[in-house]
Structure 1
Amino acid sequence: MIGKTVPMSADWPGRLWDPSPGWLNTASYGLPPRPAYEALTAALDDWRHGRTDWMPWHVQSDRARAGFAELVGADASAVTIGASVSGLLAPVAAALPEGSRVVVPEVEFTSNLFPWQVHADRGVEVVTVPLRELPGAIDARTTLVAFSLVQSATGEIAPVAEVLAAAEEHSVLTSVDATQAAGWLPLDATRFDVVVAAAYKWLMAPRGAAFGYLSERIQERTRPLAAGWCAAEEPHSSYYGPMRLAESARRFDISPAWFSHVGAAASLRLINDIGVKRIRDHNVRLANRFLTELGEQPGDSAIVTVDRPGAAEALAGAGVRTSVRGGRVRASFHVYTTDADVDLALEALRPLPR
């Protein structure tokens, strides 16, 4: 029952999801739980037949906002909704003073890199360093440090405590891309100035929904460059102006992709009902079983990589869906992954030479 704690048992993923065996690719996109899929198809059917106006879809954006806020331990008034990570970061980057220095890991998804780099004409300098050297690269010259909480290519988890300590010492702003973390890794967004996440991966929503936590000091210094009617204090009385922007982070909202938020609201409700810590334990257990039975060292991430000749072809031939990043097979394990999925992958990979 959605809205109550969801009990876990050996067969519980099968009661809420419908994956074909061998889906180990959530780092590319997540699979919708039945409540989200059913809510989305019902909304699409209403759209198809014109049985309703758009308000029932529109209100789901605020439910999704509240769900994300609960997930990351923030107040909903500090959460803005968008469509992509780069879109959420764009106004933050535009607010950086001329000559700012931004420190970023050298292997970073471009949605958390290009928004800073496009301001080179204003003298904004982007410095890239190895992830483990990120804390040491933060100094008095640094304006902002931007990094992914979980690295998309390797699954490596950032050294958050060290980065935050260095940022606090030098009064540096912190911006985190939680796209590969939110939904399986516990996260307190209020420790950072900015937290952004696309919802179509571990949050298991349709592509087109993204969320951002903005601290008060970021809100105060950032202009809502994409402001439209949804950014107004009273959106439904602001179709034609004058401009009265919301006092909360809603002034950074863009008009929501209705159907994406219909799915996002239901998925976030289920994630919160299950509990992120329980999801993390499930995911990491399966990831570590996969690694150890292949003779690899276990870790603390739901995303892992293996480097064996012919691995991608062997997995594909066995019906296991993964990705290749940097020449290595990337496998990702989420709430609907089962031991049977791991068995299928292991059977394909064990015969291969190391």
Structure 2
Amino acid sequence: MAVADYAHLWEPRPGWLNTASYGLPPRPAWEALQVALADWHVGATSWEPWDASTVRARESFARLIGAPAADVFVGSTVSAALAPIAAALPDGAKVLTDSVEFTSNVFPWQVHADRGIEVVTAPSEDFVAAIRPGVDVVAVSVVQSATGTVLDLPAVVAAGRRIGALVVLDASQAVGWLPLDVTGVDALVAHSYKWMMAPRGATFGYLSPALRDRCRPLHANWYAGSSYYGATMELPADARAFDQSPAWFSFVGAAPALELLEEIGIAEIHRHNVALANEFRAGLGLPPSDSAIVSADVPGADEAFKAAGVRAAVRDGRLRASFHVYSTRADVQLALDALS
């Protein structure tokens, strides 16, 4: 089936071009959340059915990135998911990131500056070449939030392996539209409220077994343990030891949204999104790209979009428009008409 066959599952107002800020919930996710909220309102159930959604969401995310569910942990934010990895670095380690990297994949490393952890940057176009001996961690987004640049992931993984550096990815702007496989990756974290179209508060992380053995579960809690009370801590041997206690309602919405992404197919969504983005780029006189995010220097675009009811974003002084499964050619034309 094509993306268009699922269009009835969303009800966006025309002109929503801002999935890079937050995604719109499909009907199954929205309805599941309303049921949970109604049950909560009157005390109709215990929490276990809500937690079953956390299990489903973990398993769906694992399939989306090609990982075993046992290597996936759940949490609330990208920065918190990265904290145990940053804490495991030896004193004096060097971390390479993109010069426009979103700060949730920068600050968790920089707070260890007192231990000699050094964060260095390179521009996207020179990033692979900057992966040279002396770099201990390559921490970078699969798709850049500010520019929409898609990482050459095989090249980054190969370069990291050559020098023995960890490859740690922020995939918040990628999972949900870009086909991914974590083979050769040490860690991948992603929030689900953008392209996975879940409520804010559900984050997922992949930890390779080799890296997991080097990390301490800094957020150890009842959910990751085996008992509610007492001074005996028993944590799982897999990535669940790094679970943060989940915000259940966020995962209630996340599970059906992720499962719908699987049903539609990421390859089909990728084709749809990039085609619309490139149609918009063509209307701006830009060459085609491989991204669902369009970043362009268009003076007055913010004001023109607001006047026409088009919702996009401005990042670093540039227009940022993003296209997802519920976007249409009519949205593209509305945006181009506004800018004309």
TM-score, normalised to structure 1, is 0.94
1:48 alignment partner in structure 2: 41
Out of 113, 118, 139, the residue aligned to residue 146 of structure 1 is 139
Which whole-Å CA distance do the structure 2 matches of 1:58 and 1:241 have between them? 24
Partner of 1:186: 179
Measure the CA separation in 2 of the matches of 1:177 and 1:252: 17
The answer for the alignment partner of 1:124 in structure 2 is 117
Q: Is 1:172 aligned to 2:165, yes or no?
A: yes
Q: Which residue of 2 aligns with 1:23?
A: 16
Partners of 1:13 and 1:337 within 8 A in 2:
no
Report the alpha carbon displacement of residue 190 of structure 1 after superposing the two structures with TM.
Answer: 2.8
Equivalence for 1:325: 315
Separation of aligned partners in 2, 1:190 and 1:128: 24
Q: Which of 265, 272, 281 is equivalent to 1:275?
A: 265
In the TM superposition, residue 239 of structure 1 has moved relative to its aligned partner by: 4.0
1:223–1:292 Cα change, 3 Å: same
Cα distance in 1 between the residues matched to 2:22 and 2:325? 13
**Aligned-partner SS, 2:138:** strand
Q: Deviations over 1:302-329 (max 9, x none)?
A: 0002222211111111110000011111
- Measured in 1, the distance between the counterparts of 2:96 and 2:257 equals 33
Q: Tell me if structure 2 keeps the 8 A contact 1:92–1:222.
A: yes
Helix, strand or coil at the partner of 1:190: coil
2-structure distance, mates of 1:148, 1:201: 14
Residue 149 (structure 2) aligns with: 156
Q: Distance in 2 between matches of 1:40 and 1:302?
A: 27
Residue 104 of structure 1 pairs with residue 97 of structure 2? yes
User: Quick one: which amino acid aligns to residue 25 of structure 1?
Assistant: N
Aligned length, in residue pairs: 340
Structure 1 counterpart of 2:209: 216
Aligned to 2:196, which of 174, 182, 203? 203
Aligned to 2:250: 260
State the match for 1:94 in structure 2. 87
* Aligned-partner Cα distance in 2 for 1:342–1:131: 27
Does residue 304 in structure 1 map to residue 294 in structure 2?
Answer: yes
| TM superposition shift of 1:247 | 0.8
Provide Cα deviations, 1:146-180, integer angstroms capped at 9, x if missing partner.
Answer: 00000001100112222212111111100000000
Partner amino acid, structure 2, of 1:310: G
Q: Any idea what SS the aligned residue of 1:206 has? A: coil
After superposition, the CA RMSD in angstroms is: 1.1
- Find the counterpart in structure 2 of residue 3 from structure 1: none
- In structure 2, the gaps of 5 or more residues are none
Shift of 1:13: 4.3
Is residue 242 of structure 1 aligned with residue 232 of structure 2?
yes
CA distance in 2, matches of 1:179, 1:107: 15
Residue identity over aligned pairs, in percent, reads: 57
In the alignment, what sits opposite 2:2? 8
- Structure 1, unmatched stretches of 5+, are 1-6
AA in 1 matched with 2:153: V
